[in-house]
Structure 1
Amino acid sequence: MTDAYVALEDGRTVEARARAPGRSRGELVFTTAYTGYEESLTDPSYEEQILTFSYPLIGNYGVREERFESDRVHPRAVVARELTEDVAEWLESEGVPAVDHLDTRDLVTGIREQGAMKCGIAAGPDATPEAAREELAECKEMSDHTDIGAQVSVDEQLTHNADGDGPTVALVDCGAKGSIVDSLVERDAVVEVLPYDAAPEDVEAIDPDVIFISNGPGDPKNFEAAADLVDEYVGDVPMAGICLGQQVIAEALGGETEKMEFGHRGVNQPVQDLRTGKVVMTTQNHGYTVSEPGELEVTQKNVNDDTPEGLESDELGVITRQYHPEANPGPHDTLGFFDDVVEMIEAAPKPNAD
C-alpha cells in the first residue's frame, strides 16, 4: 500500500507506507543503532531532522517511558524498513509523521555518497508526491535554524539533587539528554540546569564548581550565548562539554568547526585515547565537528576518520568529549568521563579563592 511519499534533495521521490500521518520536512540523516530507538527518538540533538533507522525492524521490545531522554520525540519525521504497532502508535500520538515499507538501505547509501540531504515527507490518506515536494521546497539548511536552541532548552533554571554533597554544576542546556543529568546526580552533584541563552549573571548567582555545556542540535555557531559564557569564565571556572558542547567550547577558544558529510550517528564508533592507545566503543549523534582545536589539545580521535573526539587543557581547566559518554543507547565504556570531570573540579582552586 502506497500512502506516503519521501521527497529527496537529490530529485527522487520515494513511495512508502504511512504509519503515522502528517507532513514534515528536515535534514535526512541515519543512525546505525539497532537498539535504543526510544532514547534516539527522544534525543534533542535530532531536532529539525528526519531520522532513518538502518536496522530493519524498529520497535521489537515495545515503548517504555522510563527510557526517554526528554519529554517528547524530537525528529520531525521517522523512516524505517518496518515499524511495529507500538512505535507507530507512539509517534502518531506525538504528532510525528512516520513511514516504512521502503528500501532504507538505498536511502542510507544515498546519504553516505551524497551527504545528509534536505527531505520532505507526506503521509496519510491524502498524501501526494506533490505535497512531499512542497515540504522539501520549504526545508532549510541546518545552519539556518538560528533559533534551534530555544526549541530544545529549558525556559528557566531547574535544580536537580539540591541536597547533594558533590560539586555544583551549571549545566547549560543546549538540548541536554536526561542521562547527562542522571550521570552527574549519581556522583552526588547539585545540577543547576540553565537555559541555552543564560547570561553571566545567571552563572554568578549559582557560583558553580564547573560550567558544563551540553549536547544539542544544529550548528554550534548558533549558540553564541554559551560561547560567551566560555569566554567569560574559562581559566577561572572549570569547563566541560559533550558533543555540541565540545564544539562550542573549541570555537570560543580560537578553534573552528565544520559540517560533516553525513555525521556520526550510532553506538559503535571507535575512539582512541592518544595518551594510552586504548580504543573504546562510543555512542554518537552529531553532524558538526571540530576542525581546528584552538587553545585545546586533541587527546582522543575517531579511529574511522581521525576527527577529534576529546579536547583538554590542564592549564585552562577544560575537558570535552565529542561522543556521548552517558550512552543511552549504547555501550557504557566511557562513563568514566563524569569521574574525570569531578576530579578536574577537585584539582582546581575554587573561583575567587585566595
Structure 2
Amino acid sequence: MTTIADVAKRAGVSVATVSRTLHHSAKVDPRTRERVLQAASELEYVASPTATSLASGRTRVIAVVAPMMSRWFFASILTAIEQSLREDDYHALLMVLEDQPTEGHSRLAPEMFAKRVDGIVWLNVPLSSQEEDLMRRLALPMVCVGAPIGETPTVMIDDRRAARAGVEHLLALGHRRIAFVGTAVESIAHMSTPAARGDAFREALIEAGLPVREDWVLDTDWTADAAAAMVEPILRGPDRPTAVLAASDEMAIGVVGAARRLGLRIPEDLSLVGIDDHTFAAALGLTTVRQDVPAQGRAATSLLLSAIEQGADHPPATRIELGTELIVRDTSAPPSS
C-alpha cells in the first residue's frame, strides 16, 4: 500500500510538505503543490480519513436523518444528497428514525453525531422536546427538508399550494364530487405533509361552496396497496366520486389499480390527480402536481455545506421554498354526463 512517505519521495519533498498540500494549506508553493498532487495521483495514494480528520478538525461526513426509506420521496432525495456530497468530497451517514418521537424518550444520543459528522440534513422528522434540546447542545450546522424545526434553515415546498392546485384543476374541469386519499394514519401522523395537503383539500372545496364528505377523505399510510384498499369501497356503486385527489403519486397508482378491478375507466368514469411527479407518473399518463425532489436535496446540501464552510458568523438563509407545477396528462377530464 502506498504511504505518504512514498509520495514525498516521488515528489522530492518532505512528508510535512505532502501533508500540508493534501490539507489544502496556503503555505505550499503552487509549483510544489502541483508536483505533490501529480505524485499522489501516479501512486494512487489515498489519504487516511482518520488522519485527515485529526489534522483538519472535520470528518467530511454529513448525517442524513430520515423517517423511512421505503417511500419514493426519501429514496430520491437521499440519492440527490449523496451525489451532491460526493461532488464536494463529503460522505453521507444515513440514520433512519422510524419510531415516532415521545416525551421522556430519545431516539438520539450525542455519540451518534459528536465528532462523527460535520453537519446534519434532517428530512421531515419531528423531534421530541428532549431531542430538540440535544440537537441544540450539539450545536452542529443543520438544514431541514420539509417540516422546519424552530429557526433551523429549511428547504421546502408549499404543500397546501400543491394540494390546492390539484383540487382547482378538478373543479375547473367541472367535478363537484371529489374524494381525497392521503390524510395521516397513526404510523405517519407525526409528519406534517399529510395534514397540510388534507387541510388544503378541505379548504378548496369549502371555498368553492361544496360540502366536504368526510367519508371520502381517506386515511392511509401512503402506499399504493393501502390506498387501493381504502378507496375501493367508495368507488363501488352509483354513489361514488367522479374524481380523486391523491396526496402522493404512489397512492394515485393504488387508486388506478382499484378502479381497474372495479371496471372503471380513467378518466371517462373517474378522474385522478396525484402529487409528486413520481418516476412512473409520465409512463402511466398520470396528471400530477410536480415537485422537484432532487432539487430539494441539492439545495439542502448546498445550504449546509455553505454553513459549514462559512462558520457561525455567516448564518444561512432561514427558508428556501421551491415551486410546484401542475402537469396535465391523461388521467383527468371533465366528468361524463
TM-score by length of 1: 0.31
Q: Which has the higher strand share?
A: 1
The two structures have a TM-score, normalised by structure 2, of 0.32
